[in-house]
Chains A and B, each alone.
Chain A
Amino acid sequence: MMDIAIYSLVDDMVSKAGTEGVVEYWLRVGESYAERMGKEAYVGWPAFNVAMKEGRTSLTVEGAVNVLTDLAIIDKDGDVIGYVYALKTCPMAPTMRRYISRIGPIPDSDTDVADSYNNRIRDSAVSNYCITHQKFREVAANNITVAKQALECLQLANKGMTGDVKMVQENLARINVDERHIKSILRSASCVFALIVKGKSAGEEILE
Chain B
Amino acid sequence: MPARKYSNNGDNMAENIESNPFVDVSVYLFFEDISDKQGVEGFTNYMVGQAQSLAKSVPEEEYETWDDFASAVVSGESVFSSFESIEQISKCGFVTNICPFSKAIREYIKRIGNFNPVHIEATDHFNHTIQPSAAHSACMMHQTYRREVAKRITVGGKPLQYAQIGAKAYTGEIALPPESWKKVLLEKAGISETQGFMEMRENSCLYLLYVEN
- A interface, CB within 8 angstroms of B: 1-9, 11-12, 25-26, 28-30, 32-33, 36-37, 61-63, 91-95, 98, 101-104, 129, 132-133, 136
Contacts and interface: CB of A to CB of B under 8 A. Distances in A.
B101 interface: yes
A95 B18 CA distance: 8
Given A6-B23, A98-B19, A29 B33 contact: yes
B25 A33 contact: yes
Interface stretch (B1-9, B51-59, B85-93, B165-173): B51-59
Contacts of B141: 1-2, 5
Contacts of A4: 19, 54, 83
A2 B19 CA distance: 9
Q: Which 6 A-B pairs have the closest CB atoms?
A: A91-B20, A1-B83, A8-B53, A36-B112, A3-B19, A8-B54
Contacts of A5: 27, 50-51, 54, 141
A121 to B, nearest CB: 18
A2 B18 contact: no
B117 interface: no
A8 B21 CA distance: 18
A11 B53 contact: yes
A205 B98 CA distance: 55
A91 B26 CA distance: 11
Interface of B: 16-30, 32-34, 46, 49-51, 53-54, 57-59, 79, 82-84, 100-101, 104, 111-113, 138, 141-142, 145
Name B's interface SS. helix
Contacts of A32: 29, 32-33
B46 A12 contact: yes
A60 B20 CA distance: 12
B113 A36 contact: yes
Contacts of A104: 57-59
B107 to A, nearest CB: 8
Given A1-B141, A12-B49, A36-B113, A95 B59 contact: no
